[in-house]
Structure 1
Amino acid sequence: MITHTHDLTFSETEVRKRFTSWDEGEPDREWMCLLLLAQHAPELAPRPLRRETAEGDPVIVMERLPGTPLETGALTTRQTAALGAALRRLFDVPFDDARATGIGERRLGPSTLRPHLIGWAAAPHDLSALHEPRLGERALSGAREFLATSPTPAFELSVIGIADLNPANVLWDGSVCRLVDFEDGGLSDPAFELADHVEHLAGRGVYDADALIRAVSLSTAERERLSEWRTHWAVFWLIMLLPGNGGFRRNPPGTTEQQAERVLRMLDG
């Protein structure tokens, strides 16, 4: 489930990221990713400067990058091309070097997402708080059937992924996109990553899925398995938006129903 894991403080040249939760090894994962990117894709992500502790909490200090987070409106053609180029640089980091650093699979990676979804979907859910509980139940029932009967999509751990491409984690300086927040990042599959990115709830209305997929230049095999992973990520967001979960509380009324309709459309093909 999604939880708040850190606090940020800024100076003119540095960002201090203080972790308030690190059960999943977030500080180590982010530090290793940033070290790797500083070597192989400089200026794509913040350069790591030092590690500290503050009252027992781990802290990563990194350089402050130029640019501001992407706005909530739809990206321009230029921004989409720049974001695609940034993701391509990320995916082109030498995989053998990434694996040699000891970086593991990203959080909720291609080998772990589906088992988590099966467990979360199977749990009892009280949908009475929804405006349209029957719609929510249809989507949840369809998701359960999909997870029970469909094969696990193919994947190949072959790239480094950021995991969380919330538009707030993309800095735009007018010409270049840079990426921040690698605490969930790690080894991944390009189709899996891009499926995650274009289905991200915060990216709805911001990312043009088809345009971003073209901009990243996936291989034919990667594009073929992209749609299967997109359905899995759509189910993920349906579950996050169910009553009792944080996504339901943080989003406007009706968001769950919209996601339920999205899932049903995808399941219907």
Structure 2
Amino acid sequence: MQTSTHCLTIGEAEVRKEFVADHEAQAAREWACLVLLAEHAPGLAPRPLRWEDGPTPVIVMERVPGAPLGPQPLGPARTHALGDALRRLYDVPVAAVRDAGIGLRRYGAREHVQVMRDWLAEDTDLGECRGPALVAEALTAARAYVADPPLPEPRETALGIADLNPANVMWDGRVVRLVDFEDGGLSDPAYELADHVEHLGSRLPGVYDAGALAAAVGLDAEGRERMAAYRPLWAAFWLAMLLPGNTAWRRNPPGTTEAHAGHFMALVDAH
């Protein structure tokens, strides 16, 4: 199975993950996360078996039971199980994360605003859009939003997975396990959950219910407010990804960009 960052070879008991060239940092980050979780949250993620040096880095890990979540709402049982898994992840001691040499997650709360300012500043030809006027309106709103976003101060109090695409959530009928930590690192649980519920792969099929997942993880009222405050930033990220020529534009059917533009503006109007 080939992706943009790695190639997976799945055996009966082992999974071999070979990273493409220039992705040594992602490989080292994932290896460090898996080693840390094997000690502090055993069974939550694949157990790391060996690191193979070569032209490109390779991680070999155990194959965990279960199958990836499908593109449909989780329901109460699986939401509760996912909340338990994320709570175990967030309960890993921060001191242990730092001692393992694991830094901030990719696109962390402190860097993401500037990343979005740079991305959204680029000129884009919207002629291929079904509703160019709507997308242009959303782009104007997104640029204004990231210029001075009303975001809470991040609290890097937990290890986050960063990418909770449903394909990275393994369900065996009883327990949830998590895979793919190449972008993981220190993060804010409220920021993580905002990322997860706004991920296009989960939001479009309605996999994660924002309120139910926050409750399952155990966010208090303030945490839920902070999660809601971060959601427009991630919606702006996906708006940029859905512009003509970008990855999500190519992967999704016509009309997705326009629908997401409406979603983004609704989130901004709510804040």
The TM-score bracket by the shorter chain reads: over 0.9
Contact 1:154/1:225, CA 8 A, preserved across alignment: no
Aligned to 1:163: 162
Aligned to 2:269: 268
Counterpart amino acid of residue 194 in structure 2: A
Contact 2:150/2:229, CA 8 A, preserved across alignment: no
Contact 1:5/1:22, CA 8 A, preserved across alignment: no
Counterpart amino acid of residue 171 in structure 2: W
**1-side partners of 2:171 and 2:258: how far apart?**
32
**1-side partners of 2:154 and 2:60: how far apart?**
34
**2-side partners of 1:106 and 1:158: how far apart?**
12
Q: CA deviation at 1:21?
A: 4.1
**1-side partners of 2:81 and 2:182: how far apart?**
23
- Farther off after superposition, 216-225 or 169-178: 216-225
Give per-residue Cα distances to partners, 1:166-199, cap 9 Å, x unaligned. 0000000000100000000011011100000011
Counterpart amino acid of residue 231 in structure 1: P
Counterpart amino acid of residue 70 in structure 2: E
TM-score for both structures, normalised by structure 2:
0.95
Counterpart amino acid of residue 14 in structure 2: E
**1-side partners of 2:65 and 2:200: how far apart?**
25
Q: CA deviation at 1:151?
A: 3.9
Aligned to 2:258: 257
Give per-residue Cα distances to partners, 1:203-224, cap 9 Å, x unaligned. 0211111111111111333222
1:174 aligns with 2:173: yes
SS at match of 2:57: strand
**Structure 2 CA distance for partners of 1:100 and 1:215, relative to 1, 3 Å:** same
Q: CA deviation at 1:23?
A: 4.0
**2-side partners of 1:110 and 1:149: how far apart?**
14
**1-side partners of 2:16 and 2:173: how far apart?**
25
Counterpart amino acid of residue 227 in structure 2: L
1:108 aligns with 2:107: yes
Q: CA deviation at 1:100?
A: 1.1
Q: CA deviation at 1:129?
A: 0.7
Counterpart amino acid of residue 116 in structure 1: V
**2-side partners of 1:234 and 1:48: how far apart?**
33
1:245 aligns with 2:246: yes
**2-side partners of 1:194 and 1:30: how far apart?**
20
Contact 1:6/1:21, CA 8 A, preserved across alignment: no
Q: CA deviation at 1:233?
A: 0.3
Aligned to 2:27: 27
The alignment-based identity, stated in percent, is: 56
Contact 2:197/2:210, CA 8 A, preserved across alignment: yes
Counterpart amino acid of residue 44 in structure 1: L
Counterpart amino acid of residue 87 in structure 2: R
Contact 1:106/1:161, CA 8 A, preserved across alignment: yes
Aligned to 1:219: 220
SS at match of 2:107: coil
Give per-residue Cα distances to partners, 1:104-156, cap 9 Å, x unaligned. 10110111111100110111111111000000000010011111133443111
Aligned to 2:148: 149
Aligned to 2:75: 76
- Which segments of 5 or more consecutive residues in structure 1 lack a partner in the other structure? none
**1-side partners of 2:21 and 2:106: how far apart?**
14
Q: CA deviation at 1:268?
A: 1.3
**2-side partners of 1:92 and 1:221: how far apart?**
18
Contact 1:157/1:188, CA 8 A, preserved across alignment: yes
Count, aligned residues:
266
- Farther off after superposition, 194-203 or 19-28: 19-28
- Farther off after superposition, 144-153 or 225-234: 144-153
**Structure 2 CA distance for partners of 1:24 and 1:126, relative to 1, 3 Å:** farther
